[in-house]
Structure formats: C-alpha cells, structure tokens
Chain A
Amino acid sequence: MSENLNDNNKKKADEQDFLRQAADEEYQYGFVTDIDTHVIPKGLNEDVVRQISRLKGEPEWLLDFRLKAFRHWLTLEQPAWGHVNLAPIDYQDISYYAAPRQNNPAGKEIDPEMKRTFDKLGIPLEEQMRLSGMAVDAIMDSVSVRTTYRERLAELGVIFCSISEAVKDYPDLVKRYLGSVVPYTDNFFAALNSAVFSDGSFVYIPKGVRCPMELSSYFRINAAQTGQFERTLIVADDDSYVSYLEGCTAPQRDENQLHAAIVEIVVETRAEVKYSTVQNWYPGDKMGRGGIYNLVTKRGLCRGDHSKLSWTQVETGSAITWKYPSCVLKGDYSTGEFYSVALTRNRQMADTGTKMIHLGHHTSSTIVSKGISAGESENSYRGMVKVVQKAHHCRNYTQCDSLLLSPTSGAHTFPVIEVHNDTSVVEHEATTSKINEDQIFYCNQRGISTEDAVGLIVNGYAKDVMSKLPMEFAVEAQKLLSLSLEGAVG
C-alpha cells in the first residue's frame, strides 16, 4: 500500500518536474554546414559599404543609396524603447558579408554540401522534388543559393529572383520601388540594413496575373560572427495576387547573431498580397545564451484603391524579436490584416505587433494577436492604429490575447489608438489568461498526455491565426508550436 502512495507522490513530483522544466527540447536546426565561406573582415565603415557594393557588382545609384543610408545611420542611436533587454551591440565586431563559395558558382549545379543543408532543412532545391509546386528562393548568409521555378513563372511575366539579380536584370523596377515604403531614414536598423543589405528576394507580379504557386524564401544563417541583412521587395501590380512565404533557421551558437532585415511590399489597385512567416531562428539556450537578434522592419503600402495586404506570422524563434509588420492604407477601400502568434519560452523576449495607418477613406484593418509566454520569457504586443482626419468611414478591429504558461513569464500590451475623425470606428479587445489545469486534466482523463494536451490547447488558442496560413505551412507551424511547447509549461 505504501508503495502505491510513494508511486503516486513520485508521479506527482515527476509531473511537477516536467511542468517546471523549461524546454530541454533540442533545437532541430542547430547544425553548421561545413562549407568554404568568403567572410569579409569584421567592422563597419564607408569602405566596407563600398566593398559590399563592389563584391555584388552594383551600379553607382545603389552605392549612393547605401552610402546615404550609412551616413544617416551614423547620426542615429540604437533604439531602447522596446520591452526587450537589448544590450548595445558592438557593430564593429560583426562581419557584414559572408558568401558561401560554391564549387561551381557559374554553372547550374548546386554545391552538394549546400544541397544537403537545404535538404536537411526540408527545402529541396531540385524542382522535381517539390510536387506541391512551391517556388523557393534559398538564401544562405549573404547570398541567394538558388531560386526554383523561375522559368515557369517567367512565362506569366512573374519575376521571382534574388534582389541582387533584380538589381542587374530589372534596375528600373528596383530603383523605382526600393526604399519607397521603408526609407533608410525610417529607423536605426532600417538605416543599417539599407547600408549593408546583402541578399533577399525580389517579386514582381504583373497586371492582372494571379501567381499560380506559392512563392517562398528560406533564410539560413550559417557563418559565425556575421550578421544577415536581408532585403525583400514585393510589388503586386494592378489586379494581381500573390501568396508569399518566409521561413528561417540558424545554427546553435553561444554568441548572439544579428539579423536586421527589411521587407517592403507595394500593392497596387485591386491587387492582393498575402505574406506569411514562420520564424524559427535559433532562440538561444535555456539560460538565454546565444540566439538570433531578429530586428526587422516590415511594411507594406496599399497604394491602389481596393488593394489588400495580409500579414500572418508564427514566431517561435530568436532570442530577441523586434518586429512590426505594418500596413499603410493609402488607397481608398484598401484593407490591411495582421495575424500573429508569438510564442516565447526560456529567456526569449519578443516585442512584436503592427501599425495600421489609415490614410484613405473606407479603409479597414483587422489585427489578431496571440501571445504565448512560457518559462521566464517576456512577450509584448505593441500596436498602433492611426486614422487621419480626411480618412473617413474607416474601420479597425483589434483582438489581442495573451496566454501565460508559467508564473515567471510576462505578457504585456502597448496599444496606441489615434483616430482623427468621428466617422471611423475602432474596436480593441484584449484578454489575458493562464493555461487551465481543468482543461489539462480533462484531456488526461480522455487518455491524452499533459504534453499533448498543452499542444492541443495552445494550437486551439492560436487557431484563428493558424487558419490564415497556407495549408502546408499551417501543418508545419502547428508541429512547430507543439514541439516548441514540449516541457514549456510550469
């Protein structure tokens, strides 16, 4: 009998232990590819900016753009307003360009080591391997490794290539749109990116074309002590449609690595862009050592009337996330959407949200943000809804929920609402809840383990957002969410 009691007590202790344990689960993508990489020496000055531009064989106008950005950056200070503990970064201790040397850079063949890396990440670079018909732009460190399905897309006039290639092949388009949504003066990290950006994707969807497949970029950081400064530009011309996906991973290292990206999107009249992100950069270890600083400026301009831009993000990685995918609703009757799930655990810190700037009349926006915090992490929603005076009959609906999985984690919301006319309607709803022990026991009683129950409950909580992701991505994101939660409840 006493054995029973001991067993029972032990079981309870085990359960407590399991619940308290902050995710020992290994990060799956923490490996390093052994590939010869050309890394320029650490440090940042005008010569480095010139060197990057020269390495990429860029035209004069782009070097000018970079230099202006760099000179502006010198006048700025690293922002400190985020609810994250971002120590001042030593920008001279980072290398700003790292290019994996491919054995056969000119040919069509991909370096086998590179191919293995992307295979391991589940990103096949051979077109025939991808039955589902998703075009991929694979980027390692500072360069684009390969873009698939380019020829097929080109038949429709769709341009999908690395931004470096776009600078060479479509200079007019790039010149016209680069920096038009996020000027280099926008903020500290945007200025830095504009000075040193290396690679990223370029997408142009011509008038009236509905892009027949999902376009995706996969970002991989590999080299140590380097930063990744990706730059993505998407232009959807009148009456076009594209769904674009972005994924990212990085090796497991004790040092922090900087990822300061810019994504600019221009949506013309009646066009629609769906931008989905599953962000899984290395989050650092249990004690908060290492991990990626993910400091990103993402913004879309709904320039044409009746245009629509939808951001969906599932954020589980990075030591620090600082990111506000926003919509400038300039065209009348344009629509902006932001659906976000941000999961933080261990010592991760995320400060994320959106800005919806209503400039046109009858514009509408929807914000659904679901924060989930575990361990000793800090998870903040920061958002702004602004309706200018002449933007009449605008609508915004914001729902902002936080779920706490541990008593030592933090959930915060910093909403700003500015409405400058009285014909517009803005709604804001917010809730904070804890994971409910009764729900877990109910699942247990039906034969579902606590770990699986937490996965189910959290996925249920995040469902409104997950359901916005493209089908295949949604399945992956659900797995990622459940995986990231293993042992994360306490």
Chain B
Amino acid sequence: MLEIKDLHATIEGKEILRGINLTVNAGEVHAIMGPNGSGKSTLSAVLTGHPAYTVTQGTVTLDGRDLLALSPEDRAHEGLFLSFQYPVEIPGVSMVNFMRAALNEKRKYHGQEPLNAAQFLKLMREKRAIVELDNKLASRAVNEGFSGGEKKRNEIFQMAMLEPRLSILDETDSGLDIDALRVVASGVNKLKSQENATIVITHYQRLLDYIKPDLVHVLYKGRIVRTGGPELALELEEKGYDWIKEEFEG
C-alpha cells in the first residue's frame, strides 16, 4: 500500500530524513519509535505534505500513486490521515461544519454526491460512539477549549469519519491518562481492517500494549536503523535508546 524509497527531506536547509525505506501493506500496523529528534514527526509531516519541509530525494507511493506530486488535500482525499500530535484550535468553526466540509470535499474528489444534513448528522452520531465523544464536543468549535484527551479522541473521531486507507498516529499517547489512552486505542482498533493500515509513531511502548503492531521500526538520525517484531518495543522499553545510539555512533 505505502512504499517509501530512499526518502530524504530538509527543513530550512537542514536534512532531517536521510534515506527512509519502508513498506506498509494493507491490514498491517507499524510502529515507529525512536529518541527525540530522530525525525519521527518529520516523517509524518513530509508524508502529509507540510509546506515547511522539502523533499530532496526519494519516492513515496500510496497504492501505486505518486504521493509527493499531490497537494496535502489531495493526499487526504487519496486516503492519508494524520492524527496530529498537537491538534490546533479553530475558534468559531463548529466541528459539524468542519467535518462536513472535509467529508464532502473528499466525496467530490471521488465523484460522489455530497451528503445532506440528515445523512451527515446520522453518520456523525455513529462515528462519535466509537471514541465515546459526546454530542456537546461534536457541536463545539474545532478543538476549542478541549482537554488534551478530548483533542486526541476528536482526532480519532475524524479518522472514523473519513475512513482513511492509511492513518498515521503521531504521538497520540502523549498527554493522555490511562483511561483516555484506552478509549483512543480501542477506537483505533475498531477502525482496523484488512483494507487499511496504521502507522503508530510513539516514544514509549505503553501505547503498543493497546495497539498491537506487526512490525516495530527504530528511527535514528533520519534513518530506520532496526526493524523487528513487537518484542523490539519491549527491548527498547527496558534498555532505552542508548544502546542503539552507541551501536550507530560507534
């Protein structure tokens, strides 16, 4: 589904990604771990087309389509979704209007009729239940005055609404207490299918207790330096990242 080959990217002339290779197949969950500053969040920003980053080398395809040639919104329409580490607030714009614009833009892209208000509200009600987001939050302005946990739940709610092919969860566990973590993880698990795939970016192994990865990758200095099964995450939890650093510095 997702094919990343020798991806290099810079921000303000500084190279952050230095040759990423990664293949993600439908039905898989991949975890990307690594110490601070290793390029985890950059990877998600580059894949989704954040304008601050420049790709200097490499290719990325999603279902065979050249992802890097698409605008950020078209990448979204093609089924790429990012659950932001820090979801922004958009004061005065209701979640309902925001989601309706997003969903209908996607439908338009795929040549489908927009949903009418009744259909849309019904869909919203169904999807809200997945992350136990209450109606009050759904009718408020986008993320405005939401707690940390509510913001993350709201991200997964949007993921449920847009039904992406590939979701990237960027540090979704940060700032969550254990109950919120459980709700968010269970939402992600409910949305998992043989048709879609998930990349979980995390610093800690804690989240992986709830969202079981098929493969775990360690990112260090802009490269994937190690790939293994779920046990790799446990090993990192126990030993930290220093041994990786030493291995690759030395």
Partner of B92, one of A12, A448, A463: A463
The answer to whether A9 touches B54 (Cβ under 8 A) is yes
Write out the residue numbers on chain B whose beta carbons fall within 8 Å of the beta carbon of A15.
51, 71
The answer, yes or no, to whether A91 is at the interface (CB within 8 Å) is no
The answer, yes or no, to whether A79 is at the interface (CB within 8 Å) is no
The answer to whether A447 touches B82 (Cβ under 8 A) is no
With both beta carbons as reference points, the residue of chain A lying nearest to B80 in the complex is identified as: A445
Write out the residue numbers on chain A whose beta carbons fall within 8 Å of the beta carbon of B88.
436, 438-439, 442
Write out the residue numbers on chain B whose beta carbons fall within 8 Å of the beta carbon of A457.
90, 93
The answer to whether A12 touches B90 (Cβ under 8 A) is no
The answer, yes or no, to whether B68 is at the interface (CB within 8 Å) is yes
Complex CA–CA separation, A7 to B82 (angstroms):
22
With both beta carbons as reference points, the residue of chain B lying nearest to A19 in the complex is identified as: B51
The answer to whether B87 touches A460 (Cβ under 8 A) is no
* Known A-B contacts A444-B71, A446-B102, A447-B77; A8 and B54 likewise in contact (beta carbons under 8 Å): yes
Give, as a whole number of angstroms, the nearest-CB distance from A455 to chain B.
Answer: 9
Write out the residue numbers on chain A whose beta carbons fall within 8 Å of the beta carbon of B105.
447-449, 452
Write out the residue numbers on chain B whose beta carbons fall within 8 Å of the beta carbon of A446.
76, 98, 102, 158, 162
The answer to whether A460 touches B55 (Cβ under 8 A) is no
Complex CA–CA separation, A464 to B68 (angstroms):
39
Write out the residue numbers on chain B whose beta carbons fall within 8 Å of the beta carbon of A443.
90, 98, 102
With both beta carbons as reference points, the residue of chain B lying nearest to A3 in the complex is identified as: B69
The answer, yes or no, to whether A461 is at the interface (CB within 8 Å) is yes
Complex CA–CA separation, A151 to B69 (angstroms):
63
The answer to whether A459 touches B92 (Cβ under 8 A) is yes
The answer, yes or no, to whether A456 is at the interface (CB within 8 Å) is yes
The answer, yes or no, to whether B66 is at the interface (CB within 8 Å) is yes
The answer to whether A7 touches B92 (Cβ under 8 A) is no
Write out the residue numbers on chain A whose beta carbons fall within 8 Å of the beta carbon of B50.
441
Give, as a whole number of angstroms, the nearest-CB distance from B88 to chain A.
Answer: 5
Write out the residue numbers on chain B whose beta carbons fall within 8 Å of the beta carbon of A460.
90-93, 141
Interface of B is mostly: mixed
The answer, yes or no, to whether B35 is at the interface (CB within 8 Å) is no
Give, as a whole number of angstroms, the nearest-CB distance from A258 to chain B.
Answer: 35
Number of residues in A with C-beta < 8 Å to the partner? 32
- The interface bits of chain A over 1-16 (1 if a CB of B lies within 8 angstroms of the residue's CB, else 0) are 1011101110110010
Partner of A4, one of B55, B76, B102: B55
The answer to whether B141 touches A447 (Cβ under 8 A) is no
The answer, yes or no, to whether B18 is at the interface (CB within 8 Å) is no
Complex CA–CA separation, A247 to B55 (angstroms):
49
The answer, yes or no, to whether A462 is at the interface (CB within 8 Å) is yes
The answer, yes or no, to whether B205 is at the interface (CB within 8 Å) is no
Most buried by A among B73, B82, B84, B98: B73
With both beta carbons as reference points, the residue of chain A lying nearest to B71 in the complex is identified as: A11
The B-contacting residues of A in range 419-460, CB under 8 angstroms, are: 436-439, 441-449, 452, 456-457, 459-460
* Known A-B contacts A1-B57, A4-B59, A452-B101; A462 and B87 likewise in contact (beta carbons under 8 Å): no
With both beta carbons as reference points, the residue of chain B lying nearest to A457 in the complex is identified as: B90
The answer to whether B76 touches A8 (Cβ under 8 A) is no
Partner of B73, one of A437, A438, A449: A449
The A-contacting residues of B in range 71-108, CB under 8 angstroms, are: 71-73, 76-77, 81-82, 84, 87-88, 90-93, 97-98, 101-103, 105-106
With both beta carbons as reference points, the residue of chain A lying nearest to B60 in the complex is identified as: A4
The answer to whether A442 touches B109 (Cβ under 8 A) is no
The answer to whether B162 touches A447 (Cβ under 8 A) is yes
The answer, yes or no, to whether B34 is at the interface (CB within 8 Å) is no
Write out the residue numbers on chain A whose beta carbons fall within 8 Å of the beta carbon of B101.
448, 452, 456
Complex CA–CA separation, A436 to B88 (angstroms):
9
The answer to whether A456 touches B158 (Cβ under 8 A) is no
Partner of A441, one of B51, B77, B81, B103: B51
Write out the residue numbers on chain B whose beta carbons fall within 8 Å of the beta carbon of A463.
92-93
Complex CA–CA separation, A124 to B93 (angstroms):
32
With both beta carbons as reference points, the residue of chain B lying nearest to A12 in the complex is identified as: B51
Complex CA–CA separation, A415 to B27 (angstroms):
61
Write out the residue numbers on chain B whose beta carbons fall within 8 Å of the beta carbon of A452.
101, 105
The answer, yes or no, to whether B56 is at the interface (CB within 8 Å) is yes
The answer to whether A4 touches B69 (Cβ under 8 A) is yes
Give, as a whole number of angstroms, the nearest-CB distance from B67 to chain A.
Answer: 9
Give, as a whole number of angstroms, the nearest-CB distance from B77 to chain A.
Answer: 5
The answer, yes or no, to whether B148 is at the interface (CB within 8 Å) is no
With both beta carbons as reference points, the residue of chain B lying nearest to A460 in the complex is identified as: B92
* Known A-B contacts A460-B141, A461-B92, A462-B92; A5 and B56 likewise in contact (beta carbons under 8 Å): yes
The answer to whether A447 touches B54 (Cβ under 8 A) is no
Give, as a whole number of angstroms, the nearest-CB distance from A438 to chain B.
Answer: 5
- Contacts beyond the supplied A447-B105, A460-B92: 7 A-B pairs with Cβ under 8 Å: A442-B90, A444-B72, A447-B73, A448-B101, A460-B90, A461-B92, A464-B92
By a beta-carbon cutoff of 8 Å, the part of chain A in contact with chain B is 1, 3-5, 7-9, 11-12, 15, 436-439, 441-449, 452, 456-457, 459-464
**A-B pairs with beta carbons under 8 Å apart, 29 shown:** A1-B58, A3-B69, A4-B66, A4-B69, A7-B69, A15-B71, A442-B84, A442-B88, A443-B98, A443-B102, A444-B72, A444-B73, A444-B76, A445-B76, A445-B81, A445-B82, A447-B77, A447-B103, A447-B105, A447-B106, A448-B101, A448-B102, A449-B71, A449-B73, A457-B90, A457-B93, A459-B93, A460-B90, A460-B93
Q: Which 9 A-B pairs have the closest CB atoms?
A: A460-B92, A460-B93, A463-B92, A444-B72, A447-B76, A446-B102, A7-B69, A4-B68, A447-B105
By a beta-carbon cutoff of 8 Å, the part of chain B in contact with chain A is 48-51, 54-59, 66, 68-69, 71-73, 76-77, 81-82, 84, 87-88, 90-93, 97-98, 101-103, 105-106, 109, 141, 158, 162
